[in-house]
A = this chain, B = another copy of it.
C-alpha cells in the first residue's frame, strides 16, 4: 500500500538517467552493429550449396527485371535506360543492409508514376528525388519511425494501390494502341484515347492486345497439372521476358529499310552509368536551376515518395517473412541506403517490388546474395544489349505494364470489406476517389485522415455505463468506465453524469464513479472531474471516486489536494454507501460540503 499511496502524491515517471544510459548501452552493444548490417550475421554462415539456388533465383529475377525496368522508365517519362539504371545498385546495396532474403529492390510502377511530373522536366529531378528520399528514409529508419506505417490501414493501402494501378494502366492504353499519350493522368489519358480513335495504328494495336492476352493467360499456366510442374511454373515466371523477346524479334524481322510496323523503343544510350554524386543543381533550357528551386519544385513529393516507398517495402517484407519478426526500421535503413547509393548511378527512387520479390521467393532464393546476380545481369544488359532494346515495341511494354497493373486491382477486397466491416469502405472510398481525381500524394493523406477519424471518434466516446443502484434503501448512481480517459472524452463523461442526475429529478444524491479500469487520465480529464464535483454540488449530489487506479487518482489529487477526500479505496460498495449515507466519520466531510450549497 505504501508505494501505491505514494503514487497519489508523486507522478511515477520513467527514470530519465536510466533511459539515457540504457539507450547508450544498447547503441554500443555488438548485436546493434550486427542488426544494422545483417550481412554480418548471415554471410559467415553461408554454405556452398546455397550458391546454386541463389544463382538460379537471381537470374530468374533478372529476366523479369529487365523488361519491367525499361517499361517503368517509360512510365516515369524518362528515357528507357533510366529504368535499367535504377535496377542494379539497389540489388547490391540490399545485400549488405537488407534483413529479408526475398526482397528485391528496384523501381516500381508507383514510384515511376510519382516522379513522372518532375522527371519530364529533367531526369535530374528524378535522381535528386532518389537521393533526398533515401536520406529521409534513412533518418526515419535510424529514428525507429517504422511504426508510423501502422497508421496506414489496409483499406487505405488498397485504395491507394488500386487507384495508382488504374492511373498507370490507363495511361498505357494509348501506347498499347500506338497513340502518343500526352499525360499520365487518368482522365486526360482516356480523353486522348477516345478523341484519337481514328489515329489508332493497326499493327501496334494487334500486337499490344495479343501480348496482353498472352500475358494474362500465361499467368495461369503455372496451375497446369499436366507434365512437369516446375516447367510450367518457370514458364509463367518468364512470361514478361518471353513477350519482349517475341515482340522484339517481330519488330526486327518485319522492319524494312529502318521502317517498322510497330512504334519501337528506339535508341537506348549504351553503357553503364557513371558513378558520380547526384545533381544538386541543374540546367534546363540553358537556365540555371538552384538546389532551392529544385526542392520547391519537388515539393510535397519529398514527403509522399519516402512514405510510399517505406509502405511498399515494409508490406512486402512482412508478407514474405512468415513467422519471423520483420525489423521495419532496419528495412528502412536498407531502403534509404539503396536510394542514396542509387542516386550516384542516375537511379530514380526505388523500393521493394512485389512482383519480383514473389518471383525471387518462388525461385527458392536462400540469402540476399541472389540480388548480386540480378544486379550483374542488369549491368550486362546495359553494357551489351542496348542495341537489341532498340526494337522492343512500345505496345509490348504497354501490355506488360497493363498486365502488371490488372493484378494490382484486387476487386475482391471490396467485397471482403463489405462482408466483414462495411464501415471500412469509407476510408477506402475516400482514398480511391481522391487519388484518382485529385492526386496520389494528397489522396493517401485524405484516406489516412479519414481513417484516423474513427480512432479519434472512439476516444471521444468511451464506453460508459450509468445505472441506478439501491443498497439498504439508499439510492445512488453507479458510473462504470472501462478504459483510459483522454481529454477528448473529458466533457462527454461529465455531461453524461450531469444529464443523468438532471433526469433523476433530484432523487439521487450520490454518484459513485468506479475507476478500476481507468488506466490513465490526463490534466484535462482531471480538471473535468474537479468541475464535475462542483457541478454536482450545485445539484445537491455528492461524487465518490471508488477504487480508482492509483495512477489516475493521483493526477486528480496532485492537482487539487482537497479532492483526496472523495477517493475511496479498498471499500466494498456496501460499506461505501453505508458510510456515506449514515455519516460515518470517514466520509462526513464530503457530506458537509455538499449540504453547504
- Distance in angstroms between the alpha carbons of A538 and B534 in the assembled complex: 58
B13 touching A422 by the CB < 8 A rule?
yes
B558 touching A486 by the CB < 8 A rule?
no
Contacts of A318 in B (CB 8 A): 491
A332 at the interface (CB under 8 A from B): no
- Distance in angstroms between the alpha carbons of A287 and B452 in the assembled complex: 45
> A11 — nearest CB in chain B belongs to which residue?
B422
DSSP majority for the A interface? Answer: helix
A524 touching B153 by the CB < 8 A rule?
yes
Contact with A420, one of B422, B519, B555 (Cβ below 8 angstroms)? B555
Contact with A539, one of B323, B422, B455 (Cβ below 8 angstroms)? B323
A463 touching B519 by the CB < 8 A rule?
yes
B419 touching A559 by the CB < 8 A rule?
yes
A155 at the interface (CB under 8 A from B): yes
Nearest-Cβ distance from residue A28 to partner chain B, whole angstroms: 24
Contacts known (A325-B499, A523-B421, A559-B420); A458 close to B482, Cβ less than 8 A: no
Nearest-Cβ distance from residue A171 to partner chain B, whole angstroms: 30
B150 touching A488 by the CB < 8 A rule?
yes
Nearest-Cβ distance from residue A140 to partner chain B, whole angstroms: 16
Contacts known (A153-B522, A487-B451); A421 close to B460, Cβ less than 8 A: no
A480 at the interface (CB under 8 A from B): no
A224 at the interface (CB under 8 A from B): no
Contacts known (A323-B498, A523-B416, A536-B323); A151 close to B421, Cβ less than 8 A: no
A322 touching B534 by the CB < 8 A rule?
yes
Nearest-Cβ distance from residue A63 to partner chain B, whole angstroms: 29
A154 at the interface (CB under 8 A from B): yes
Nearest-Cβ distance from residue A157 to partner chain B, whole angstroms: 9
B421 touching A11 by the CB < 8 A rule?
yes
Contact with A459, one of B324, B423, B455 (Cβ below 8 angstroms)? B455
Convert A429-453 into 0s and 1s, putting 1 for each residue whose CB lies closer than 8 angstroms to a CB of B: 0000000000000000000000110
Task: Give the residues from 382 to 424 in chain A that come closer than 8 angstroms, CB to CB, to chain B.
Answer: 416-417, 419-424
A181 at the interface (CB under 8 A from B): no
Nearest-Cβ distance from residue A47 to partner chain B, whole angstroms: 22
- Distance in angstroms between the alpha carbons of A558 and B419 in the assembled complex: 6
B535 touching A456 by the CB < 8 A rule?
no
Contacts known (A455-B456, A483-B483, A559-B420); A325 close to B523, Cβ less than 8 A: no
B523 touching A491 by the CB < 8 A rule?
no
Convert A490-533 into 0s and 1s, putting 1 for each residue whose CB lies closer than 8 angstroms to a CB of B: 11100100110010000000000000010111111011000000
> A422 — nearest CB in chain B belongs to which residue?
B11
A556 at the interface (CB under 8 A from B): yes
Contacts of A521 in B (CB 8 A): 421
Contacts of A490 in B (CB 8 A): 150, 153
Nearest-Cβ distance from residue A15 to partner chain B, whole angstroms: 14
15 cross-chain CB contacts under 8 A: A11-B419, A147-B460, A150-B490, A153-B490, A153-B523, A154-B487, A420-B555, A421-B521, A421-B555, A424-B524, A451-B487, A454-B486, A455-B456, A455-B488, A458-B486
